[in-house]
């Protein structure tokens, strides 16, 4: 009998995909109908990602799908006035955070199609889901590019990997901006010395809404966080934007000394930026990997610096992240 299993369940009237690994005690639960959100991940009895509201609330409450679990974002964060230009074309995204901003794109609120799932000793437990702009005429009205997003979640040997494949199936180059927003469950009160380690290179000056106000630089924080900073004093609703050291292993770590384990989150080199964020609505912390800095297409800096880029017609991008826990002993 395989240690791995995949199940399709019904909860709060919604379809849930459950991946499990009995040997490591790992369970990952996804909600394809609401942004393909990985809303829960536990391993060895420890909560790594949790959602403290009902799945019905996650689906129906405005912005809830971007405040819990693992929202998928394109474009990530805010666009000032919802407007930017790329390749001599101007885009007008809807203002969904009035009065001035478009926030977090559309992927986290849309229903994704489950293409396949399965389990085996060799491949682990996995599920493949997809969202196509071709099927969403309202998005094509303001973003006329046939992008297809295909995500494979795979639970193997206690590690949960997320492989994102983004393909431009249209005829024009499209602006490309992609990110993730995992909310890692942290017991701040019982583990006050918990620390965060990020292989940072430089820090960007930003507003409290994560808009860039200048060029990045080496700072006291960008140096200290390489070895670890304590999160007890990190302000609620505080945010920090960092560029990752391209020569690092791209592994971020949340160390829980009292609990005796560490949450490890490895990024892809195509995610050169991370936004750190502490919500005030849950006991969690976000390490958000981005392909670009907030509102990069509206910044007056070199695209190589900000990550502003395009995805050409017929081009495909694959971006993989991995999540696991490590013992502190």
Quote the CA–CA distance of 195 and 254 in Å, as a whole number. 6
Q: What pLDDT is recorded for position 191?
A: 95
Q: List CB contacts of 317: < 8 A, sequence separation 6 or more.
A: 164, 165, 166, 167, 176, 178, 270, 311
Residue 191 CB partners (closer than 8 Å, separation 6+): 256, 257, 258, 259
Write down how long the chain is.
Answer: 329
CA–CA distance, 175 with 192 (Å, rounded to integer) = 42
The pLDDT tens digits of the residues spanning 74-87 come to: 999 999 999 999 99
Q: Which residue has tokens 């495909």? A: 316
Helical (H) or strand (E) element with 198: none
* Cβ atoms 197, 256 nearer than 8 A: no
What's the chain's Rg over C-alpha atoms?
19
- Predicted local distance difference test score (pLDDT) of residue 14: 97
Pairing relationship of beta strands 183-185 and 174-176 according to DSSP bridges: unpaired
Residue 324's pLDDT is 98
Q: What is the pLDDT of residue 329?
A: 84
In this structure, the number of other CB atoms found within 10 A of the CB of residue 172 comes to 13
Longest dimension (CA), the chain: 58
Residue 111, token pair as written in the block: 């229903």
β-pair partners for 85: 90
- In order of 108, 180, 222, the CA distances from 100 in angstroms are 20, 23, 30
What pLDDT, on the 0 to 100 scale, is given for residue 65? 96
CA distance 284 to 71: 14
Query: Which residue ranges of the chain lie beneath pLDDT 50?
Result: none
Angstrom CA distances, 5 to 36, 46, 117, 280, 306, stand at 19, 19, 10, 35, 41
Provide the CA 140 distance to its chain's centre, in angstroms.
23
Give the per-residue pLDDT at 137: 97
Q: Dihedrals φ, ψ of 74, to 5°? A: -160, 110
Q: Are strands 78-80 and 179-180 parallel, antiparallel or unpaired?
A: unpaired
Listed residue (179, 166, 180) closest to 312, CA to CA: 166
Q: What is the pLDDT of residues 305-329, one digit of tens each?
A: 999 999 999 999 999 999 999 999 8
């Amino acid at each position: 009998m395989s240690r791995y299993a995949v199940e399709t369940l019904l909860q709060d009237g919604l379809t849930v995909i459950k991946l499990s690994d009995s040997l490591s005690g790992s369970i990952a639960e996804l909600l394809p109908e609401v942004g393909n959100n990985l809303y829960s991940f536990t391993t060895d009895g420890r909560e790594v990602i949790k959602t403290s509201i009902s799945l019905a609330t996650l689906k129906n409450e405005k912005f809830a799908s971007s405040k819990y679990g693992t929202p998928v974002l394109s474009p990530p964060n805010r666009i000032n006035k919802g407007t930017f230009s790329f390749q001599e074309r101007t885009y007008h995204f809807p203002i969904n955070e009035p009065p001035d901003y478009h926030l977090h794109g559309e992927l986290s609120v849309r229903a994704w199609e489950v293409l396949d799932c399965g389990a085996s000793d060799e491949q682990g437990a996995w599920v493949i889901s997809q969202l196509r702009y071709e099927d969403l005429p309202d998005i094509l009205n303001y973003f006329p590019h046939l992008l297809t997003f295909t995500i494979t979640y795979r639970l193997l040997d206690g590690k949960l990997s997320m492989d994102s494949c983004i393909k431009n199936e249209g005829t024009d180059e499209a602006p490309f901006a992609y990110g993730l927003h995992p909310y890692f469950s942290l017991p701040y009160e019982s583990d006050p010395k918990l620390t965060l380690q990020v292989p940072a290179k430089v820090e960007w000056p930003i507003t409290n809404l994560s808009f860039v106000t200048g060029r990045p630089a080496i700072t006291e924080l960008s140096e200290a966080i390489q070895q670890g900073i304590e999160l007890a004093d990190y302000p609620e609703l505080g945010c920090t934007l960092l560029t990752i050291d391209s020569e690092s292993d791209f592994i971020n770590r949340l160390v829980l000394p009292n609990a005796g384990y560490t949450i490890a989150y490895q990024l892809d080199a195509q995610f050169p930026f991370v936004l750190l964020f502490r919500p005030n609505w849950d006991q969690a912390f976000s390490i958000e990997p981005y392909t670009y800095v907030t509102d990069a297409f509206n910044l007056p800096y070199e695209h190589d610096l900000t990550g502003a880029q395009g995805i050409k017609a017929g081009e495909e991008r694959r971006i993989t992240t991995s999540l696991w826990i490590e013992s502190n002993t």
